[in-house]
């Protein structure tokens, strides 16, 4: 958010390692605000930014992107577990795919990460911070935070400020 205020562009947090890349649709907002903060347009924009940075900054010719669901079981059970997948996420994925982005999903986060399915993709697009960062940090203890979508390259350690280890 600080960098976005000082550089041109719309920032996207991407956590990167040799094993996994995870981009986020929403960044630092309360979980209670995530559902109303995602939209078809926001997901399409996030997919476009992620695709562009994977091509330009990571050298992937045509990246395959897994898109996570917001709700458990990808909003299954006839909508009892949420409707965002059917009303917002799936239509965004379909539109992006029809426009040439190799986007797939929506996938339940627990199944995609626990089952190793993430390895079939060049990146994963998560709907919110902890949905993407918890599995990333579990699977990639030596990752890097890469901010895409800005007019300058910005990276940092994946652990943030880390006052507990500063000066060591």
DSSP letter at 140 equals -
Could you tell me whether strands 21-24 and 9-16 are parallel, antiparallel, or unpaired per DSSP bridges?
antiparallel
Per residue in 100-138, pLDDT tens?
Answer: 999 999 999 999 999 999 999 999 999 999 999 999 999
pLDDT at 157 over 70: no
Contact 139, 16 (CB under 8 A): no
What whole-number distance in Å separates Cα of residue 67 and Cα of residue 102?
10
pLDDT at 159 over 80: no
pLDDT at 10 over 90: no
The residue assigned the tokens 């045509």 is 62
Q: Given this model, what pLDDT does residue 71 score?
A: 92
Tokens standing for 83?
């409707």
Per residue in 49-108, pLDDT tens?
Answer: 999 999 999 999 999 999 999 998 887 777 778 899 999 999 999 999 999 999 999 999
Which whole number is the average pLDDT over 148-152? Answer: 79
What whole-number distance in Å separates Cα of residue 5 and Cα of residue 17?
26
Contact 139, 20 (CB under 8 A): yes
pTM for this one?
Answer: 0.89
Strand intervals (E) in the chain: 9-16, 21-24, 64-68, 102-107, 123-126, 144-150, 154-157
36 burial (CB, 10 Å; 0-12 / 13-18 / 19+) is exposed
Three-class HEC string of 76-91: CHHHCCCCHHHHHHHH
Helix (H) or strand (E) holding 93: helix 90-98
pLDDT at 166 over 80: no
């Amino acid at each position: 958010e600080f960098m976005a205020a000082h550089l041109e562009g719309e920032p996207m947090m991407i956590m990167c390692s040799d094993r996994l890349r995870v981009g986020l649709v929403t960044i630092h907002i309360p979980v209670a605000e995530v559902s109303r903060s995602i939209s078809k347009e926001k997901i399409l924009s996030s997919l476009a930014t992620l695709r562009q940075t994977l091509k330009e900054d990571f050298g992937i010719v045509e990246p395959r992107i897994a898109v996570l669901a917001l709700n458990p079981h990808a909003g299954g059970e006839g909508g009892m577990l949420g409707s965002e997948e059917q009303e917002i996420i799936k239509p965004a994925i379909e539109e992006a795919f029809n426009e040439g982005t190799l986007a797939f999903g929506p996938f339940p986060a627990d199944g995609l990460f626990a089952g190793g399915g993430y390895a079939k993709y060049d990146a994963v697009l998560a709907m919110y911070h902890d949905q993407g960062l918890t599995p990333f940090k579990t699977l990639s203890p030596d990752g890097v935070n890469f901010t895409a979508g800005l007019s300058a390259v910005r990276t940092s350690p994946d652990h943030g400020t880390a006052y507990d280890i500063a000066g060591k």
